Amino acid sequence: MDPIDILESAGGVLLRRDVLAAGGTEMELRRAIRSGSVVRLQRGLLAAADADAELVAAGLARGLVTCTSAAPKYGLWQLRPATRPHYWQSNGRSTVRCVSHRLPLTQQPRHRTLAALPDVLLHALLCLPELESLVMVECAYNHGDIDPAQLLRYLDGKRCGKARTVLSKVERGADSLLETLARVLFRDAGISTETQVWINGIGRVDFLLEGFLIVEIDGIAFHLEPRQFKKDRRRDNAAMRQGLPVLRFFYDDVVHAPESVLAQVREVLARGSLRWPQPKQPSFRSEWD
């Protein structure tokens, strides 16, 4: 079997003995190294020439990429990128300038340099601030890749209280990490929060707070296309005609100024619901009912 195919099927980095065990031959390996398609990283450690740099670094550290460093590998939402690599290591070494995870693995690694998704999420729950781990787990849950109950089985110790609290907040239905952050912000403040609500004459809205305040979250890819922009504003007008005020927030608001978001929401809620014309009553339903 071609050594390059073997390496690429394993994430691009393998021990020499594993390449040979998978069907490669010494002659094929030497030929691939001479051609530059395979690189000898260290004695006994090989990589495909185009291997992912993070996975190569993990291979050199004899570790597995995990926690927030593994989020991009699994397509998970990430509140902020890792400032240092996070590795799972079992060999007693501690790589300089990395965050080293030692929790025993619960799953066979995806390959030699990347931890399995359940372990990535467990490490995140026990390592990261609450919101950073929450968006990772909720993304995996919404993709259908994990069930929070599967993770909860490994979080029964006294030191796992924060992780269990995070899992209790995981829900299905958010379209982005911004919706997850906003939902938690509102509910932690004691505000009655319905998500993904359909309102007749208006359509689906991101949030309905206290039964009358509509909140829409516009992400980084905000609707600047003229047709969508007009549609959004017409929806806002339709809401106001039904007596339902609308607040819109952006990425910077939710991520960098949540207290300002909360203050604006509380200000509108304190004024109470505007009265809609009788006999028209807005009809609500959640898409997740």
Task: Determine the average pLDDT of the residues in 158-184.
Answer: 94
Residues 237 and 267 in one domain: yes
From residue 186, how far is each of 183, 212, 250, 253, 259 by CA, in Å?
Answer: 5, 14, 15, 14, 10
Residues 72 and 139 in one domain: yes
User: Does the pLDDT value for residue 22 go beyond 50?
Assistant: yes
pLDDT in tens, 32-54: 999 999 999 989 999 999 999 99
Structurally, how many domains does the chain consist of? 3
Residues 136 and 74 in one domain: yes
Residues 62 and 164 in one domain: yes
User: Does the pLDDT value for residue 278 go beyond 60?
Assistant: no
Whether the CB-CB separation of 206 and 216 falls below 8 Å is answered with yes
Residues 93 and 155 in one domain: yes
Distance between CA atoms of residues 22 and 164, nearest Å: 40
Residues 33 and 88 in one domain: no
> pTM for this one?
0.84
Task: Determine the average pLDDT of the residues in 9-25.
Answer: 90
Residues 94 and 13 in one domain: no
User: What pLDDT, on the 0 to 100 scale, is given for residue 283?
Assistant: 53
**Structural tokens at position 148:** 């929070």
Give the distance from CA 75 to its chain's centroid.
7
Q: Please say which residue of 124, 151, 168 terminates a domain.
A: 168
Domain housing 229 = 177-286
Q: Please say which residue of 122, 137, 168 terminates a domain.
A: 168
CB atoms within 10 A of CB 155: 18
Residues 151 and 226 in one domain: no
pLDDT in tens, 209-257: 999 999 999 875 555 566 666 777 778 788 878 888 999 999 999 999 9
Q: Please say which residue of 51, 66, 91 terminates a domain.
A: 51
CATH code of residue 205: 3.40.960.10
Whether the CB-CB separation of 62 and 44 falls below 8 Å is answered with no
Higher pLDDT, 287 or 268: 268
pLDDT band with cut points at 50, 70 and 90 for residue 284: low
